[in-house]
Amino acid sequence: MKKKKSWFVIIVLLIICLLVYYFFPKPACSLSSLDKRAVWFSYTDLSKFSYESKKQFREDFSLAIDNVKKYKTNTVIVHVRPFSDALYLSKLFPISKVITNRSSLSFDPLKEMVDIAHDKGLSIEAWVNPYRISLNQKTYEQFKTQSIKGSWLDNKDYTIGYATHKYILNPASQDVRDYIVAGIVEIVENYDVDGIHFDDYFYVEGTHGETTQNERMDNVNMLIQDVYQSIHFVKPDVTFGISPQGNYENCISEGADVDTWLKEEGFVDYVMPQIYWSDHYGEQGNEKMYTNRIQTFSQLERRKGVMLYAGLALYQAGEDLNYDQGWKKSSSNISSQVQILYLNGYKGYSLFTYESLLKEAGQKELEALLKGHPDS
């Protein structure tokens, strides 16, 4: 009888534990339990800094780093090649007039950013758009007149045009792949960056042509493998990560083979899908879009050692969107989203973008994040 009672007590306790686990709120994770807490500095953020002198630029970027550190950020991801150009002194790409409004510089912005970030205890990753050439006449003319590959615009083997002044490098070209890889090697060899970061521009809408989905993924994958191997050959400790779209189906359609990147060796060190929705999505505000997309990526097969992070839409803070009401209803979306990603096995996040952190709505979100995820 005693033995039966003991088993009964054990079973009851187990049931109680399971009920507590599934139906009671989980303790909030501390921010320090997440490996990466990043902020993206887009080319529009960087264009607001002064490039008159090294001194002025250092002052601007130092202030920016101090601003992000208030929110327990440990990584900055800086946009150093948005349009086949460069925010560093390159032999392969022209200086980015989009960012600097100049054709030449008296100092090297990336070198200064690396030094400042490291001096202040942060990691820094160089963010590159591998294929994008232009989105408007200004960026089109920059490539045509200043790039060493400007003649490629007249050859469909090397470039794909999909609207007026909108072009990408052709992912099917081996010469294109070699050019992109050489540019990555140039950064890794010459700068003490902690990582190389690609975003979601692959075969963008309008560039598919007659290619099949598998052909697009194969073409992109050849580049991703080459980049990964080249980075780790030069500096094994430099990470390589990609931030694809948060819509899995769109990723696959546009050549972003997230399944392969996550489960196969030799492609990436991390994947950071851009989960730019709230959990009050849709006209009725009852669709848990954020959670659904977080779970979609977390359920994909993943090789040990490949990290999963999430891109979060700080830029939506306070926005009155009829299709995504959560950003207007609440100032604690980011805090809730961090808890959700943590419970789904993600090890960090990045906030888009720095400019949003300076706005009142963004600051309210981040204050709620700090309050909701204190270090124990």
pLDDT digits (tens, 9 = 90+) for 334-363: 999 999 999 999 999 999 999 999 999 999
Percent of the chain with pLDDT over 70: 93
Q: What is the pLDDT of residue 227?
A: 98
The domain spans of the chain are 37-372
> How far, in Å, CA of 185 to CA of 151, rounded?
23
Q: What is the pLDDT of residue 196?
A: 98
The two tokens of residue 323 are 């299709």
Q: What is the DSSP string of 205-261?
A: TT--TT--HHHHHHHHHHHHHHHHHHHHHH-TT-EEEE--BS-HHHHHHTT--HHHH
> How far, in Å, CA of 94 to CA of 96, rounded?
6
Tens of pLDDT, residue by residue over 239-258, are 999 999 999 999 999 999 99
The answer to whether residue 115 scores a pLDDT higher than 60 is yes
Question: What is the rounded average pLDDT of the residues 22-26?
Answer: 54
Q: What is the DSSP string of 312-339?
A: E-GGGTT---TTBTHHHH-S-HHHHHHH
Average pLDDT, the chain: 94
The answer to whether residue 146 scores a pLDDT higher than 80 is yes
Q: Is CATH 3.20.20.60 the classification given to domain 37-372?
A: no
The answer to whether residue 122 scores a pLDDT higher than 60 is yes
The dihedrals phi and psi of 157, each to the nearest 5 degrees, come to -70, -25
Distances (CA, A) of 222 to 111, 160, 261, 266, 267: 30, 18, 11, 11, 9
Percent of the chain with pLDDT over 90: 91
The structure tokens 């990603």 sit at 341
Query: Which has more confidence, 24 or 330?
Result: 330
Q: What is the pLDDT of residue 132?
A: 98
The answer to whether residue 187 scores a pLDDT higher than 70 is yes
Q: What is the pLDDT of residue 376?
A: 63
Name the amino acid, one letter, at 111.
Answer: K
Contacts 24+ apart (CB under 8 A), 141-145: 142/83, 142/85, 142/94, 142/96, 142/97, 142/98, 143/83, 143/84, 143/85, 143/94, 143/167
Name the amino acid, one letter, at 336.
Answer: S
Helix residue ranges, H only, 70-106: 97-100
Cα 332 vs. chain centroid, distance in angstroms? 21
Question: What is the rounded average pLDDT of the residues 144-156?
Answer: 97
